[in-house]
Amino acid sequence: MANRRDSRIEPSFEGSPGAKSSDGFSVSEEDRVVPRTRKSAAKGKSAKAKSRGRGRDRNRRGLLGIATRLVYWCFVLCIWGGIAVAGIVVYYGAKMPAATTWSIPDRAPNIKIVSVDGGLIANRGMSGGEAVGLHEMSPYIPEAVVAIEDRRFYSHFGIDPIGLSRAMVTNLIGRHFSQGGSTLTQQLAKNLFLTPDRTLERKVQEVLLALWLEHKHTKDQILEMYLNRVYFGSGAYGVEAASRRYFGKSARDVSLSEAALLAGLLKAPSRLSPARDPKAAEERAQLVLAAMREEGKISDKEYKTALSAPATRAPSYWTGSENYVADTVMDELPDLIGDVRGDIVINTTVDLNLQKLAEQSIRRLIDESGKKLNVTQGALVSIDDSGAVRAMVGGYDYSTSQFDRASEARRQPGSAFKPFVYMAALEAGRTPDSLRNDAPIKIGKWTPDNYGGKYYGKVTLATALAKSLNSVAAQLTMEVGPDAVVEAAHRMGIQSDLQANTSIALGTSEVTPLELTSAYVPFANGGYKPDIHFIQRITTAAGKVLYENNGGSAPRVIKADIVGMMNSMMTGTVEVGTAKKAAFNWPSAGKTGTSQNSRDAWFVGYTANLTTGVWFGNDDGSAMKKVTGGALPAQAWHEFMVAAHEGVPVRPLPGTWKSTPSDTIVPDEIPSADASQPPPAPPAAVGQSQPVAQAPAPARPVRTAQPAETVDAGGFDMPSDSGSTASIKHPVPPGNVGGPTKKRQTSILDILGGG
């Protein structure tokens, strides 16, 4: 048994570590239980590590698969996108004429603008410029244009992918159009063949035409054509016309600083014109010089010299206020006939003799009184009963400022806005003989005082309008509601946004002289609103009629009896009211206006022949010195209208109205002087009067006010012409006024395509 047991026990090997048992045998370390357990744990750890490795491999393979699929689908989308783009190009390309019919005009078309009697107002288009070869003009001009407009012009193939990508990224980040990606070749293609429409079709066609131009012509030929056709502002097309317009010299003699100014205009020719904004033009020219230095076109020394000697503008090239008319005509032209392809003649409605008379009157009054009264600018608009503009002066001197104050400047009309208040009141049932209590009133926290705190007690509406009493105008606005006043003004022809608040009674919403004058025309022609227009006919040089204004039918906007009542009341303004200086030997009517602190002075008046509006003020809005609507504006109006009516048979104003005792309101029906809660009276529809309920009363004489020392305060602290220094304790607070800002709508095409 012992041997059998011994045979099961393996002897220890010599040299192996172990412990000797009691019966003489030894056990190796490997035979123990603990080492075997450690081996098992090590194997477990190894299995876990392998499992984690396999997980990481699976993750890597998953990410790689996602990336692979992403690349695949991007590739697929690119293919389909390319097919879509190709389809669009083919579609719009097929709509274009055959390339064999494309030809480049020899020169830009000339636009001849003439007066109603055939006199020359202006030539636009080439503007006296001739085509100048690239080798003939100053070398600084093409270098400046390429540096600022298309620095890769000589390396791209008509389209600049780098510039287009940059513009797209910038526009997308900024979320609006701020940079253009069009090359000079694309711009030339657009100017030569396409309309200015911002559409996908036009953009595709522009690219195709640019590629065609690059194929048919050299880079120098393309640049030469571009420089001889592009618009440089102030009516100058082509570099030669622009050089003569701004510097009084040929493009051959232009200096570095002058070339930089010309190149800078291309971004925004009208806005950056040195004739309009010299400071903006010079700032842009400095950017051009910096770009030229960066591109290595000029040295540091030339750069510093040009900065220290900026371009000197010619004192005048075009003079005469008729150029304000020419600018307006050019703005309207695209909407009437589209793109101009050949020489045309535009027959305007302007009488050149009246235009000269208007300009002389405005300039003479400013020359005589400008320094003394702090007046630097004036504007005049005259419109006949058909809506034809017979004269328009947009400022003191066109050669020094091309900003058209007649059609572009929005200013507060003051009391010249009151006729629309009274018109709304008459349409709601009031009459010129209706009585109101001219006394201090309080509307919320606003007290619309009369000038100097002087009041007249019970007065008729006719007297209140003639004397421009602010408290009565405010009462009427509260009675009919500000919305009714705004509706009446818009119906008559005001286009600017108007704030429907009580202070609108005193003309706190801004309007232009052109629209305010046009809104008085229905009073002069019997209640009809005509289309205001400058252009009568457009023909080709050969006489083919491209456009003609046939007048059409003017809608009635005021009922005949309302016209009669308004004309009866506003006649008093000229005969006994604030515009006595305007009176002459024709039946006339109108309204003066003066805004706060005499910043604006107006008179808009009319006969049965012409409606004329006059404005005086300063571009920076600074106050004049005691200038009211009854002063300079009424004088200018008088001078112009006397000359305009010379030899014309006298005609009465349209409409009639006679005062009757039954129209008088008895004292207990006069609204309270505290108009904080006046009885509302909804406005009537056009031509539908709503008579105010009146108790029968015996006929009694109407109390009339004595002439005031100052009668055209316009609702503000306004000194009189007599030099009174009385002040108003509660001037009208400034309202949220002004017309809408015109902003060009930015499309996704602008953002992605860079213009």
CB 482 within 8 A of CB 504: yes
Question: Hey, what are 449's tokens?
Answer: 């005082």
Question: Between the CA atoms of 460, 466, 472 and 476, what dihedral angle is there, to the nearest 10 degrees?
Answer: 90
- 249 burial (CB, 10 Å; 0-12 / 13-18 / 19+) is middle
Residue 415 annotated in active site: yes
CB 535 within 8 A of CB 349: yes
CA 188 to chain centre: 26
The torsion angles phi and psi of 385, rounded to 5 degrees, stand at -65, -20
CA atoms of 131 and 147, how far apart (whole Å): 22
Question: Hey, what are 342's tokens?
Answer: 């050949």
CA atoms of 348 and 156, how far apart (whole Å): 45
Residues 563, 531, 516: CA angle, nearest 5 degrees: 60
List the catalytic residue out of 127, 138, 149, 243: 149
Residues 675, 679, 680: CA angle, nearest 5 degrees: 110
Q: Which residues contact 125 (CB under 8 A, 6 or more apart)?
A: 108, 109, 110, 111, 237, 340, 343
Q: Which residues contact 315 (CB under 8 A, 6 or more apart)?
A: 248, 399
Number of H helices, E strands in the chain: 22, 14
CA atoms of 134 and 460, how far apart (whole Å): 74
One-letter identity of residue 232: F
H/E stretch holding 214: helix 200-216
CA atoms of 150 and 254, how far apart (whole Å): 21
- Between strands 389-393 and 535-540, the pairing is unpaired
Give the three-state DSSP class for 538: strand
Q: Which residues contact 547 (CB under 8 A, 6 or more apart)?
A: 336, 337, 535, 537, 538
Residue 468 annotated in active site: no
Convert 508-537 to b/e letters by CB count within 10 Å (16 or more is b): bbbbbbbbbbbbbbbbbbbbbbbebbbbbb
List the catalytic residue out of 321, 415, 588, 595: 415
Largest interatomic CA distance in the chain: 162
Q: Which residues are catalytic?
A: 149, 415
